[in-house]
Amino acid sequence: MKITVEAFWDEEAKVWVASAVGDIGLVTEAPSIEALQRRLALLAPDFLELEADTPLEIELLTRSVQTVAAE
């Protein structure tokens, strides 16, 4: 099984906010991409109620916006 998760950096909260694409309803956050990947690996199988031996591929798409001023 494969799910796609989109994540963006919330500058105010200083965390990556992630939500699964589609009607899955999985939403979580973490202070770094690495922590987010670990959290998704733990949460997603339980959230989807998968059997222990069912493989799950998590595609993580990140978005980051930076505003710069010309010098």
Confidence of residue 7 (pLDDT cuts 50, 70, 90): very high
Cα diameter, the chain:
56
Work out the mean pLDDT of the chain and round it to a whole number: 92
* DSSP strand pairing (2-10 vs 15-20): antiparallel
Model-level pTM greater than 0.85? no
Task: For the chain, list the domains and their CATH numbers.
Answer: 2-59 (3.30.2390.10)
On whether the CB atoms of residues 61 and 6 are closer than 8 A, the answer is yes
